[in-house]
Amino acid sequence: MSDVLAPLDVFQPPKPLRAKLITLGCQMNVYDSHILATELARIGYRETDQYDDADLVVVNTCAVREKPAEKLRSLLGLLNQQRKKRPMKIALAGCLMQLQGSEFQEKFHIDYVTGPGSITELPKLIQAGQGTSLEFIDSLADYVAPPQMSLAAHLTIIRGCDHACTYCIVPRTRGPQVSRPPEKILEEAYALRKAGVLEVTLLGQNVNAYGKDVPGYPSFAQVLRQIGKIFPRVRFLTNHPKDFTAEVIQAIAETPTVCRHLHLPVQSGSDQVLKDMNREYTAQQFIHAAQLARKALPGCSVTTDLIAGFPTETEEDFQATLALVDQVGFDASFTFIYSPRPGTPAGALPDLPQEVKTERLMRLIDQCKAWSLKRNQARVGQVLEVLVTDERKGDGTSQGYCRENIPVVVGEDLDPGIYQVQIGRAAPQLLFGAVLHDL
């Protein structure tokens, strides 16, 4: 081996490696993509927002419905076209890989594959030249992610899910529930605050279950109170109604920094369908919980997830869902058409005809939209605290969202930050207002 250095005139500084990250799926994946970016930076990759100069493209995938899987397939088709023109590595991470990693690896010639429990293994795979890692790495719960460069940040407090909703693939993709050690959560929270984060969203498939898997850990309500001391705004996502407790309502009521917004996914208003979904609550119990929250937390917005066209859902069951929507009057609703997931108990049942599912979804959307408009109209005239996160758009308007989690458009070019905004007009998913400047 020769140890001779290259002559100076031919010496080229190494070109920095560039990685383009694409995130499909929920906020848990957005948080995990931040960990992926951190790990890639450790081995010399800088993030780029373009495909053209990327040496590596990483897609963090989602398996919850068929749509994100279709999106991934078409994206990979395009990337493989690009790869014919110039060398580029592809890494796939996340939920869908936990189920179909090897299938995708073969079919689309993927270089590296990791699951949601092994994202920190990506550098090892890259250094090895290729490979797959789908174990659930214990140390992931201890991983303290460096601050996200944003006024609003995510903080995962619990990974996985111990529920067994019959339609849902998530427990198979993300494994059983693992609460992160409280001291790691606090360490990460203080670092975020120090970096200028104003709003933190505590994340988990079911944050209310926090601590139940480890004796001696605090309850979710206790975590909420602690984190509430650190940030001006705290929110949390998402909650299983069965685990939602009066203790949590109390913690929100007594911690002014915790936003008065509850995302309580109901899925259906029919007791039979709820039973078939294995949700472990009745429509009445849900309505009671929502009413309790609204009473204890004046102004609180209550939002939900709803599924139209579950295999056993009859027209009568669907009517019960519409009736529940009317009884609760959600501030915002995420409505989904049922998507059979192979390997789930419901996935083995005969699917309803597509046109029945679509027609129900349309009716559901109309009704939810009408309630969102009604709830938003009741906020006209109120002064709400709006967090503007985006850089100036330069078109004379700014967009942010209030504590109740409704997007708000302000007719003024604002720097990112928190503003008091008087609401002047409402649309179903949007409020419009003007900033109240200090006199």
Note whether 209 binds ligand F3S by CB under 6 A: no
Which of these ranges, 5-13, 25-33, 46-54, 77-85, lies near ligand F3S under the rule CB under 6 A? 25-33
| Residue 206 beta carbon to ligand SF4: minimum distance, rounded to whole angstroms | 5
Residues near 184 by beta carbon (within 8 Å), at least 6 away in sequence: 141, 142, 143, 144
List the single partner that 338 binds among ligand SAH, ligand F3S, ligand SF4, none, CB under 5 to 8 Å by kind.
Answer: ligand SAH
CA-CA distance, 308 to 280, in Å (whole number)? 19
Picking from 291, 371, 300, 377, the residue whose alpha carbon sits closest to that of residue 335 is 371
Picking from 389, 379, 385, the residue whose alpha carbon sits closest to that of residue 415 is 389
List the single partner that 307 binds among ligand F3S, ligand SF4, ligand SAH, none, CB under 5 to 8 Å by kind.
Answer: ligand SAH
Q: Are 332 and 429 within 8 A, CB to CB?
A: yes
Decide whether 92 or 168 has the Cβ nearer to ligand SF4: 168
Note whether 63 binds ligand SAH by CB under 6 A: no
CA-CA distance, 281 to 271, in Å (whole number)? 8
Note whether 95 binds ligand F3S by CB under 6 A: yes
Note whether 238 binds ligand SAH by CB under 6 A: yes
CA 12 to chain centroid, in Å, comes to 42
Residues near 111 by beta carbon (within 8 Å), at least 6 away in sequence: 89, 90, 91, 130
Q: Are 89 and 55 within 8 A, CB to CB?
A: yes
CA-CA distance, 130 to 111, in Å (whole number)? 5
| Residue 222 beta carbon to ligand SF4: minimum distance, rounded to whole angstroms | 21
Residue 21: φ, ψ to 5°: -110, 135
| Residue 237 beta carbon to ligand F3S: minimum distance, rounded to whole angstroms | 11
| Residue 169 beta carbon to ligand F3S: minimum distance, rounded to whole angstroms | 6
| Maximum separation of any 2 CA atoms in the chain, in Å | 81
Which of these ranges, 22-30, 46-54, 193-201, 393-401, lies near ligand F3S under the rule CB under 6 A? 22-30
Classify strands 89-94 and 112-114 as parallel, antiparallel or unpaired. Answer: parallel
List the single partner that 28 binds among ligand F3S, ligand SF4, ligand SAH, none, CB under 5 to 8 Å by kind.
Answer: ligand F3S
CA-CA distance, 368 to 391, in Å (whole number)? 31
List the single partner that 154 binds among ligand F3S, ligand SAH, ligand SF4, none, CB under 5 to 8 Å by kind.
Answer: none
List the single partner that 65 binds among ligand SAH, ligand F3S, ligand SF4, none, CB under 5 to 8 Å by kind.
Answer: ligand SAH
Residue 33: φ, ψ to 5°: -65, -30
Q: Are 399 and 354 within 8 A, CB to CB?
A: no
| Residue 170 beta carbon to ligand SF4: minimum distance, rounded to whole angstroms | 4
List the single partner that 173 binds among ligand SAH, ligand SF4, ligand F3S, none, CB under 5 to 8 Å by kind.
Answer: ligand F3S
Note whether 265 binds ligand SAH by CB under 6 A: yes
Which of these ranges, 35-43, 88-96, 334-342, 430-438, lies near ligand SAH under the rule CB under 6 A? 334-342
Find the binding residues for ligand SAH in span 195-214 (CB under 6 A): 205-206
Note whether 65 binds ligand SAH by CB under 6 A: yes
Note whether 179 binds ligand SF4 by CB under 6 A: no
Q: Are 431 and 402 within 8 A, CB to CB?
A: yes
**Of the residues 90, 92, 93, 165, which one makes contact with ligand SF4 according to CB under 6 A:** 165
Whether the link from the prior residue into 238 is cis, omega within 30° of 0, is: yes
**Of the residues 54, 62, 79, 346, which one makes contact with ligand F3S according to CB under 6 A:** 62
CA-CA distance, 407 to 414, in Å (whole number)? 15
CA-CA distance, 190 to 137, in Å (whole number)? 25
Q: Are 270 and 321 within 8 A, CB to CB?
A: yes
List the single partner that 171 binds among ligand SAH, ligand F3S, ligand SF4, none, CB under 5 to 8 Å by kind.
Answer: ligand SF4
What is the contact surface with ligand F3S in residues (CB under 6 A)?
Answer: 25-26, 28-29, 62-64, 94-95, 170, 173-174
What is the contact surface with ligand SAH in residues (CB under 6 A)?
Answer: 64-65, 167-168, 170, 205-206, 238, 240, 265, 267, 305, 307, 336, 338-339, 341
